[in-house]
């Protein structure tokens, strides 16, 4: 071999170097359609899908495994979600309502005076836009335990102008819940970018619980129940093996 790269540097002494898994998203989160992906504790608003930093609002503090978000400390992804999309979050379950991910528009900030958008809460609820405003798509699950970390996924697929599929996954403490719901009139498009921890046009939504978010991802496509079941098992395994987080 007659060609090589000479670094010409001495590695500093000190604490143990970070593992490669601390410098990236979980491998299972890197899927077709990834539009925004955040590994929050170590990388803040860095979007692994674009290689650029998103807008960080305020100064979130570190939680046990992630960053703590609320109405004044959150990430504006700058991305408008399409009609078919998926929200995925690993976060700490809270007893009260905290904003995990979404593009909720409060009626006071909407031209038609109606609520719009899709929002996932740290209690486990998902609210989705319908012609009359916003309705509960999936509610919190009785099996969930406050203070433990949970994997939440909400996926919406537009099949036609009058047919939409909604899928919901909720994994915590070895308890797996997968729910499906079809609806004829889901309204997904808003003029509000998706936010992690809160969203620009969500005020004065009264979801005030601090939410410790570990991972947050937005995908520009929907997934089937079977796809979510396989995918969620992969995420659970990697969370335990690579991050020591049990769900």
pLDDT tens digit sequence for 221-243: 999 999 999 999 999 999 999 99
Average pLDDT over residues 187-213: 95
* Short-list 170, 216, 212, CA closest to 76: 216
Gyration radius of the chain over CA positions:
19
Confidence of residue 207 (pLDDT cuts 50, 70, 90): very high
Handedness of CA 56, 35, 199, 240 (dihedral sign): negative
Let me know: does 54 contact 47? Beta carbons within 8 Å.
Answer: yes
- Cβ neighbours for 177, distance < 8 A, ≥ 6 positions apart: 141, 143, 168, 169, 170, 171
pLDDT at 186: 87
**Whether the predicted pLDDT of 214 surpasses 90:** yes
Is pLDDT of 11 > 90?
no
Name the β-bridge partners of 170: 152, 177
Question: pLDDT tens-digit profile of 39-54?
Answer: 999 999 999 999 999 9
Res 191 pLDDT > 90 = yes
The mean pLDDT value of the chain amounts to 93
Residue 16 — very low, low, confident or very high, per pLDDT cuts 50/70/90? low
Task: Indicate the pLDDT class of residue 123, thresholds 50, 70 and 90.
Answer: very high
Q: Is the pLDDT of residue 117 over 80?
A: yes
d(CA 196, CA 170): 18
Domains of the chain in sequence order: 36-243 (2.60.120.200)
β-strand partners of 119: 102, 127
Q: Out of 12-16, 151-155, 159-163, pick the least confident.
A: 12-16
Per-residue pLDDT averaged across 78-92, rounded? 97
Q: Is the pLDDT assigned to residue 75 strictly greater than 60?
A: yes
pLDDT at 161: 87
Give yes or no for a contact between 190 and 79, defined as CB atoms under 8 angstroms apart: no
Percent of the chain whose predicted confidence (pLDDT) is above 90: 85
What is the arithmetic mean of pLDDT over 139-166?
96
């Amino acid at each position: 071999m007659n060609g090589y790269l000479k670094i010409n540097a001495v590695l500093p002494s000190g604490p143990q170097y970070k593992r490669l898994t601390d410098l990236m998203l979980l491998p299972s989160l890197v899927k077709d359609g990834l539009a925004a992906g955040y590994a929050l504790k170590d990388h803040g608003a860095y979007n692994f899908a674009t290689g650029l930093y998103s807008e960080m609002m305020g100064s979130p503090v570190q939680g046990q495994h992630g960053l703590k978000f609320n109405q004044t400390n959150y990430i504006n992804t700058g991305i408008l979600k399409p009609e078919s999309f998926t929200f995925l979050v690993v976060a700490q379950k809270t007893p009260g309502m905290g904003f995990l991910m979404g593009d909720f528009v409060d009626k006071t900030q909407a031209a038609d005076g109606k609520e719009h958008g899709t929002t996932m809460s740290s209690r486990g609820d998902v609210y989705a836009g319908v012609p009359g405003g916003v309705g509960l798509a999936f509610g919190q699950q009785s099996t969930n335990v406050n203070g433990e970390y949970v994997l939440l996924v909400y996926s919406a697929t537009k099949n036609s102008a009058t047919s939409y599929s909604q899928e919901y996954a909720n994994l915590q403490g070895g308890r797996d819940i997968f729910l499906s719901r079809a609806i004829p009139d889901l309204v997904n498009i808003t003029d509000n970018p998706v936010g992690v921890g809160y969203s620009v046009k969500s005020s004065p939504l009264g979801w005030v619980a601090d939410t410790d978010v570990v991972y947050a991802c937005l995908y520009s496509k929907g997934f089937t129940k079977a796809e979510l079941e396989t995918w969620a098992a992969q995420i659970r395994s990697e969370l335990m093996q690579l991050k020591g987080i049990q769900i």
